[in-house]
Amino acid sequence: MTVTTATSTTRTIDLPNGLALTVQEFGANTDGTGVLMLHGGAGPRSMAGFAAGMSEHAYVVVPTHPGFDGTPRPDWADTVADLAGVYLDLVDALGLTGVLVAGSSVGGWIAAEMGLRDNHGRISALVLLGATGITPEPPLEIADPARIGPGRTGELAFHKPELRLDVASLSEPRRAAMAANQRTLALYAGDPFCHDPKLRGRLHRVTVPVLVLAGEQDGIVPLGYERALADAFPRATFRPVPEAGHFPHIEQPGVVFGAIGEFVATEVEAQVGA
């Protein structure tokens, strides 16, 4: 699948508690519906192609988690639960309903926490891509990029070698920016890294349909972990993506868009029409 270049705009939105949130918007909010895309530790650029492709069908918003890419982070925002509240405030501020929330890696964990807290009923579905959040059952484990380093992280994250980061070619400013993002990720992901021991027991309260997409060659978050995550929701569809690692939306966009289209038609639109 070829993803066309979509026009986007970036702006800052003032939210409660004094937070100035940076968001990138693809398309226009014409009917109050849209897609909220939440990045993982790789930052908002990792969602750009996915957002551009999705904007052919919907208004798409990609926020930058406070503290990533040099954006301000207030002292009170230091957990995934805090980010879930921020993005529910964002959905309110944008006047959106029927929102599909798509999250990559820790962004999927944020999406799940949003589903638990959506007391305004604005979320219609969740799409989780290589998501974290629940405690891995041994021998499964989530790889920590801060511990294994950027080179090994790239090897584990991407099935296709050409997509792996060439660490040696990075400029010093780029290395510094990546290191700063990893420090911010560590702050939000917490200890234990990238999971909440109590989350699995709460996910039965997420009532909207959930699509869990997992790269079959993901070395960051194992396939078995993603299957267990899907099993924790009452209305989840699990879809493995062949020849893809931790970012199936980058390595296999056609498969991912096809799976989302089928999911929306059979689970989301069917729910609305019921």
Residue 171's domain is classified under what CATH number? 3.40.50.1820
Per residue of the chain (274 residues), what is the pLDDT tens digit?
A: 333 457 899 999 999 989 999 999 999 999 999 999 999 999 999 999 999 999 999 999 999 999 999 999 999 999 999 999 999 999 999 999 999 999 999 999 999 999 999 999 999 999 999 999 999 999 999 999 989 998 999 999 999 999 998 888 989 999 999 999 999 999 999 899 999 999 999 999 999 999 999 999 999 999 999 999 999 999 999 999 999 999 999 999 999 999 999 999 999 876 654 5
Q: Is residue 15 part of a domain?
A: yes
pLDDT of residue 3: 39
CA distance 64 to 139: 33
Residues constituting the chain: 274
pLDDT of residue 74: 95
Residue 133 three-state SS = strand
Q: Is residue 116 part of a domain?
A: yes
pLDDT of residue 165: 86
Q: Is residue 228 part of a domain?
A: yes
pLDDT of residue 270: 67
Q: Is residue 222 part of a domain?
A: yes
DSSP state of 214: E
Greatest distance between any 2 Cα atoms in the chain: 55
CA distance 43 to 252: 19
Q: Is residue 1 part of a domain?
A: no
Instruction: Give the position of tokens 């990609």.
Output: 62
**Contact indicator for 87, 188 with CB cutoff of 8 Å:** no
**Contact indicator for 93, 20 with CB cutoff of 8 Å:** no
What is the Cβ-side half-sphere exposure of residue 184, based on CA atoms within 13 angstroms? 25
29 burial (CB, 10 Å; 0-12 / 13-18 / 19+) is middle
Tally of structural domains, the chain: 1
Tokens of 93: 């501020």
CA distance 206 to 230: 12
CA distance 205 to 212: 17
Q: Which are the contacts of 147, defined by CB distance < 8 A and separation ≥ 6? A: none
Q: Is residue 3 part of a domain?
A: no
Q: Is residue 2 part of a domain?
A: no
Residue 61 structural domain: 8-273
Q: Is residue 109 part of a domain?
A: yes
Rounded to two decimals, what is the model's pTM? 0.95
pLDDT of residue 204: 98
